Structure 1
Amino acid sequence: MCGICCVVALSSQHSIHDYFNEDVHCRLRRRGPDSSQQLIKSVCEPSYECLFSGHVLHLRGLMTPQPLEDVNNNIFLWNGEIFNGVHVGDSENDTEVMFRHLALCSSEADILSLFSSLRGPWSFIYYQASQHSLWFGRDYFGRRSLLWQFSNVSDSAFCLTSVSVNVESCNQCQEVPASGIFRIDLRDCATTKSLSLTLFPWKYSCTEETEEEIFVDVLDQVSKYLPNHISLVVNESKLCLRAPVIPLNRTISEASAERASTDSSNTSPVVSIETLQGYLVEEHKKKLVHQFIDVLDEAVKRRVLLLFRDEDQRTKEVQGVSHRKAHVAVLFSGGIDSMVIAALADRHVPLEEPIDLLNVAFMTKEQTKQTGTTKNSINQEMQLDLHCGQENHKDLGAKIGDHLSCFDVPDRITGRAGLKELEALNPSRTWNFVEINVTLKELKEMRRQCITHLIYPLDTVLDDSIGCAIWFASRGEGYISKQGEMKPYKSPAKVVLTGIGADEQLAGYSRHRVCFRKYGPEGLNKELEMELGRISSRNLGRDDRIIGDHGKEARFPFIDEDVVSFLNSLPISEKADLTLPRGIGEKLILRLGAKELGLKASSILPKRAVQFGSRIAKLESNNEKAYHTCSRLKLF
């Protein structure tokens, strides 16, 4: 994880530093606390100036400060992880490896071939001195943030940065679309005093679309993110990047089409562990489930092992805690996504190393008056916890009494139940269940100081709720229970695993059921294809900025290229069955996988979005819609 930034001035009217906001510099340093450097490149003929700013979070290989510059004056900024595709030795740093490969590229096609081969999240900025070219872009899914900001016509300056600031006086930032990679000919732009971007889009290796159709579509999409005075063109050679995943399988079997047209509400099975077991009797289904778990397991393995572990570092936060510090944390609600990730991480994280489970809760509005609705929701969670021991039921039952904590929101209840399941799965592991409690006062204060800038340029109520919840959760400051006492604890883990991507691919949201009822499996396929296509602009850039603000790296196992390709290869009927009730039908293949991993009650928990499970959505306003522009993100 790094904070990267490049400012380019094509005019000598102002100093390059005039275009580099000091607040942006501070936010970049928070992303990369281990090293910060700047480099200015001035070119006289044609006249332009570039400022490169690199801020490194050291996670693998030797510490490698950025920006990198070679003997040919090429300059490289890298914010990514190479998990596959290009070999990175155990003691090597992937920034150096990528720079070395780029230096060997003698053509545009070579550069595209290199980036097409990468597996893992990335964003980059590369100055190719011999060609006066600036290359930049994000990976296919947009798992790493990169923003662009253009000055007005007369100034002829622009900025690329991992994170910006939400300041009304500045020109509007936008996320760089994850539609391909871009090149700017700085020599040409400096001569004409106007900016033109050349696009190299992604293309499936097997597609019926012609290059012409691809370029027309992608130009229309990307142009929406650019000011009118910035031109966008396709490269003359019509070169494309090879997409790292296969296209979605849209096959609809007769059986699934027939099920979709039949009202099964009267014959739907009861939601139970035994229901899942019934599906696993079928050999074909069981084989697919095991294949899915294998590919997801490999994705988790890459993300928990490829990081620097300093054996001399010990945790000093809490007496009685394992003397080894946690390097890996999971954003943890106790729901199916986070439970499966935690169970798979347990297979690969060294046994003597704790795993931190980060569970966030926002103080309920009325601490002293617990409504019947709250009690009912907690009772429902207890009933779903079918396989907890009697003593755990008593513990949960006590919570519903007069002393119900103002932080016992639904995700806290299911999180504790999930902890019991994980402890039963591996009693030898130290599981640090970190209870992160947020008051309304702290929420308002940290949103104003920090979070609004990280969510920017997104601005909806949904962005606010999810962004705030993830920021507090990934900060990892809370309490853990040791010897019956709650003690302060701050997670030292630099890697944060998150379950995003499961719902988008496996029909986990309630809107998928609505779509399925209206348009059947064909409509659902289109919806899921759209979900994955917009995940870069809707979720991942934001989440990367939010988690990176703590000097931690977000890693997304469900959006591993191999996982996505496997799920894309399956017809929708093998992944989900929305004729079945909530808690079984959505994410069916994942639930079956959870059952095979030995998980119990969590495998049949219905989907509950973080903004509702953590109760942040109920904290400040009850009459907003998720898509509304959020007034709380505006600076006054």
Structure 2
Amino acid sequence: MCGICCAVSFSVEHFSKDLKEDLLCNLKRRGPNSSKQLLRSSVNYQCLFSGHVLHLRGVLTAQPVEDERGNVFLWNGEVFSGIKVEAEENDTQIMFHYLSSCKNESDILSLFSKVQGPWSFIYYQASSHSLWFGRDFFGRRSLLWHFSNLGKSFCLSSVGTQASGVADQWQEVPASGIFRIDLKSVSISQSVVLKLYPWKCNSGGDDIRECVNSLTEISAALPTFVLVAANEAKLYLKEPVVPLNMVLPQAAFETHCSSISRSPLTRETLQVFLTDRHTKEVVQQFIDVLSIAVKRRVLCLPRDEKLTPGEVLKTSNRKANVAVLFSGGIDSMVIAALADHHIPLDEPIDLLNVAFMTKEKTIPVNFNKKGRKQKNHCEMPSEEFSGSAAAAAAASPGEQFSVPDRVTGRAGLKELHAASPSRTWNFVEINVSLEELQRLRRTRISHLIQPLDTVLDDSIGCAVWFASRGAGWLVTQDGAQPYHSRAKVVLTGIGADEQLAGYSRHRARFLTHGLEGLNEEIAMELGRISSRNLGRDDRVISDHGKEARFPFLDENVVSFLNSLPVWEKANLTLPRGIGEKLILRLAAVELGLTASALLPKRAMQFGSRIAKMEKNNEKASDKCERLQIISLENLSVEKLDIS
């Protein structure tokens, strides 16, 4: 994970050799291990490149990187497949090596078409005065743009700053393909022209119409002096996943087990499906491809030196390198169970479980004394962590933070212990008070969620920020002690609901338009996931110097699920808790999980109870007033806090 930025000016009076302090602070939080700036000047323009690295693989490579021809590269991504990167190699170096050897536009597009994994990048090609940039097919890495001064300057950045008005608004770079700007041409014509190289599948669809629609949508959101056009050579990137299987059954679709809806749901209910040979084979194929996706995401990071045989059991001081955003629901349970298959057994796994307190309680005086006594046993949370709220939770967790996700999280922990008793599972209870939520939303979180601005974005963005920070209480049989997860990799289950009909709107669409409507809903969900979820979640999680990884959005996982007819992934004639995400529930049973396989979908904002903390009468799609509050005093404080 890195913070990358490029500020371009076509006017001497608007050029600065330094980034604004608040933007620089926000970038450094994403990349705490290395910071570097590089200036490129031409007669017609000036470019300031700024790179901030979170070191996760190979030799630490400071960014931006440059070569002898003046090319400059900023990379915020992970190459998991498609291009060979050895365990000891750094993918930034590998990608730049290939880019520097590209002879033309087609070579550049061919390179990025091969990469499997999340990425965003900025590449300055000196010979052509071109600035290339873009995000991966799903938009798993954030990249924003900001145009100002009537085309005299613009900026690309992983993260923005607190907006003070519409004119200062940052916008997400659409994950529609790769963009190129001819910097020399802009300085002459006084207008910014973005050339788009779109993603394209080879399914024989109406790609021309799709490209025109994409250009129209992008242009509508930009200032009038910014033009978006298709590249003249009509070159494109090859989509990294197979098209969605839209086939419908020849006969009327009915559940094979109609009696299920009338019977109590148990683990045996799901096992009935696994008696079918074809179903069992498909489920095993799904487990295999998802397991490989998890493996790539938990092994591709530095670890402590291997322990000697005599030290294997001394795990109390071992650091967890991987954390899971953990509600105890089916998505996070399967991810945790598969991570357990691949992470060394002497290494703990952090399970990050967040809960929001709806009513303040009196804090027992004697607890703080007890907490201080335990300080040496475990790393204390950051100063931002609300000790009062957490202390109250540890003192009487049943009263204040027993939200649905805490209940299912604790139950899920028991299942994981039973499935893998030799593993140290660090169940981290992250308890958030109303005061802490409001303070940190104002000073740290709101600009990360922007440019998204709905009530739903506020709820999920804040919940994910607190969860991924990992500052809470480690709850064991001996009691609770302060704990701050230092795992740099955070696994999240996003992508499962979108592909496997996990949302209530999937069921509503199925009830009104059948399987054809359900297929269309799934296609729509996957198509908008970059703008609806992933940029926001990347910015929120990376603010802690951690990297979000999304196994369900691995290219091979998506291709496998896309290849299946919809009824092999979900059966919405069955009740909630079994029909949605059916293939994932069957996989959970095969992995030895029990009660979690039958839990119905519960949105994070409701499971954590953040949606109940402030206003109960809001709609998820409403613009959130809380995200618009700007405080110059808080911004000044924020500039000092880059840790």
How many residues were matched structurally?
A: 591
Structure 1 position 266, deviation (Å): 9.5
**1:306 matches 2:300:** yes
Q: Which residue of the other structure, out of 611, 628, 639, is the alignment partner of 1:634? A: 628
Q: Which amino acid aligns with 1:4?
A: I
For residues 283 and 435 of structure 1, the distance between their equivalents in structure 2, rounded to whole angstroms, comes to: 41
Q: Which amino acid aligns with 2:122?
A: I
Structure 1 position 215, deviation (Å): 2.5
Structure 1 position 268, deviation (Å): 4.2
For residues 265 and 254 of structure 1, the distance between their equivalents in structure 2, rounded to whole angstroms, comes to: 23
Q: Which residue of the other structure, out of 151, 159, 164, is the alignment partner of 1:168? A: 164
Structure 1 position 214, deviation (Å): 3.5
**1:411 matches 2:405:** yes
Report if aligned partners of 1:268, 1:581 keep a CA contact under 8 Å in 2: no
Structure 1 position 17, deviation (Å): 4.1
Q: Which residue of the other structure, out of 549, 556, 563, is the alignment partner of 1:555? A: 549
Instruction: Give 2:239's aligned residue.
Output: 243
Can you give the 5+ residue segments of structure 1 that lack an aligned partner in the other structure? 314-319, 369-398
1:2-17 equivalent positions in 2, closer than 5 A: 2-17=2-17
Change in 2 beyond 3 A, CA 1:51/1:322: same
Instruction: Give 2:226's aligned residue.
Output: 230
Structure 1 position 224, deviation (Å): 2.7
Q: Which residue of the other structure, out of 336, 354, 357, is the alignment partner of 2:330? A: 336
Can you give the 5+ residue segments of structure 2 that lack an aligned partner in the other structure? 308-313, 363-392, 631-643
For residues 170 and 222 of structure 2, the distance between their equivalents in structure 1, rounded to whole angstroms, comes to: 10
Query: If the length of structure 1 is used for normalisation, what is the TM-score?
Result: 0.90
Deviation string, structure 1 residues 562-592 (Cα, Å, up to 9, x no partner): 0000000001100000010000000000000
Q: Which amino acid aligns with 1:288?
A: V
1:461-480 equivalent positions in 2, closer than 5 A: 461-480=455-474
Report if aligned partners of 2:3, 2:28 keep a CA contact under 8 Å in 1: yes
Instruction: Give 1:451's aligned residue.
Output: 445
Instruction: Give 2:283's aligned residue.
Output: 289
Q: Which amino acid aligns with 2:479?
A: E
Q: Which residue of the other structure, out of 254, 259, 262, is the alignment partner of 2:254? A: 259
Q: SS at 1:480's partner residue?
A: strand
Structure 1 position 308, deviation (Å): 1.4
Structure 1 position 207, deviation (Å): 2.6
For residues 557 and 340 of structure 2, the distance between their equivalents in structure 1, rounded to whole angstroms, comes to: 19
1:588-627 equivalent positions in 2, closer than 5 A: 588-627=582-621
Instruction: Give 1:73's aligned residue.
Output: 70
Structure 1 position 442, deviation (Å): 0.5
Deviation string, structure 1 residues 136-191 (Cα, Å, up to 9, x no partner): 000000000000010132x5110000000122155221100000000000011111
Instruction: Give 1:48's aligned residue.
Output: 45
Deviation string, structure 1 residues 436-482 (Cα, Å, up to 9, x no partner): 00000100111001000100100000000000000000000011124
Change in 2 beyond 3 A, CA 1:14/1:439: same
For residues 274 and 548 of structure 1, the distance between their equivalents in structure 2, rounded to whole angstroms, comes to: 41
Q: SS at 2:63's partner residue?
A: coil
1:301-380 equivalent positions in 2, closer than 5 A: 301-311=295-305, 322-365=316-359
Q: SS at 2:355's partner residue?
A: strand
Structure 1 position 312, deviation (Å): 8.9
Report if aligned partners of 1:84, 1:119 keep a CA contact under 8 Å in 2: yes
Change in 2 beyond 3 A, CA 1:335/1:267: closer
Instruction: Give 1:389's aligned residue.
Output: none
Deviation string, structure 1 residues 80-117 (Cα, Å, up to 9, x no partner): 00000111111110000000000010000000000000
For residues 527 and 259 of structure 2, the distance between their equivalents in structure 1, rounded to whole angstroms, comes to: 32
For residues 457 and 21 of structure 1, the distance between their equivalents in structure 2, rounded to whole angstroms, comes to: 19
Report if aligned partners of 2:260, 2:269 keep a CA contact under 8 Å in 1: no
For residues 143 and 397 of structure 2, the distance between their equivalents in structure 1, rounded to whole angstroms, comes to: 46
For residues 3 and 176 of structure 1, the distance between their equivalents in structure 2, rounded to whole angstroms, comes to: 15
Instruction: Give 1:93's aligned residue.
Output: 90
Instruction: Give 2:567's aligned residue.
Output: 573
Report if aligned partners of 2:356, 2:431 keep a CA contact under 8 Å in 1: yes
1:493-504 equivalent positions in 2, closer than 5 A: 493-504=487-498
Q: Which amino acid aligns with 1:528?
A: I
1:210-229 equivalent positions in 2, closer than 5 A: 210=207, 212-229=208-225
For residues 126 and 231 of structure 1, the distance between their equivalents in structure 2, rounded to whole angstroms, comes to: 20
For residues 109 and 616 of structure 1, the distance between their equivalents in structure 2, rounded to whole angstroms, comes to: 48
For residues 66 and 403 of structure 1, the distance between their equivalents in structure 2, rounded to whole angstroms, comes to: 45
Q: Which amino acid aligns with 1:219?
A: L
For residues 420 and 505 of structure 1, the distance between their equivalents in structure 2, rounded to whole angstroms, comes to: 28
Q: Which residue of the other structure, out of 114, 129, 134, is the alignment partner of 2:131? A: 134
Q: SS at 1:538's partner residue?
A: helix
Once the two structures are overlaid, the 10-residue window that deviates more, 337-346 or 270-279, is: 270-279
For residues 518 and 420 of structure 2, the distance between their equivalents in structure 1, rounded to whole angstroms, comes to: 38
For residues 303 and 186 of structure 2, the distance between their equivalents in structure 1, rounded to whole angstroms, comes to: 45
Report if aligned partners of 2:38, 2:49 keep a CA contact under 8 Å in 1: yes
1:436-447 equivalent positions in 2, closer than 5 A: 436-447=430-441
Structure 1 position 222, deviation (Å): 1.9
Q: Which residue of the other structure, out of 274, 279, 285, is the alignment partner of 1:280? A: 274
Structure 1 position 225, deviation (Å): 2.8
Report if aligned partners of 1:11, 1:193 keep a CA contact under 8 Å in 2: no
Report if aligned partners of 2:14, 2:153 keep a CA contact under 8 Å in 1: no
For residues 477 and 577 of structure 2, the distance between their equivalents in structure 1, rounded to whole angstroms, comes to: 34
Change in 2 beyond 3 A, CA 1:403/1:492: closer
Q: SS at 1:405's partner residue?
A: helix
Instruction: Give 1:530's aligned residue.
Output: 524
Q: Which amino acid aligns with 2:253?
A: E
Deviation string, structure 1 residues 217-265 (Cα, Å, up to 9, x no partner): 221232233222101111111001000001100011134x4339x9979
Q: Which amino acid aligns with 2:102?
A: C
For residues 267 and 543 of structure 1, the distance between their equivalents in structure 2, rounded to whole angstroms, comes to: 36
Query: If the length of structure 2 is used for normalisation, what is the TM-score?
Result: 0.89
Q: Which residue of the other structure, out of 56, 60, 81, is the alignment partner of 2:57? A: 60
Instruction: Give 2:22's aligned residue.
Output: 23
Q: SS at 1:488's partner residue?
A: strand
Structure 1 position 403, deviation (Å): 7.9
For residues 86 and 265 of structure 1, the distance between their equivalents in structure 2, rounded to whole angstroms, comes to: 49
Once the two structures are overlaid, the 10-residue window that deviates more, 502-511 or 478-487, is: 478-487
Q: SS at 2:399's partner residue?
A: coil
Report if aligned partners of 2:455, 2:618 keep a CA contact under 8 Å in 1: yes
Instruction: Give 2:535's aligned residue.
Output: 541
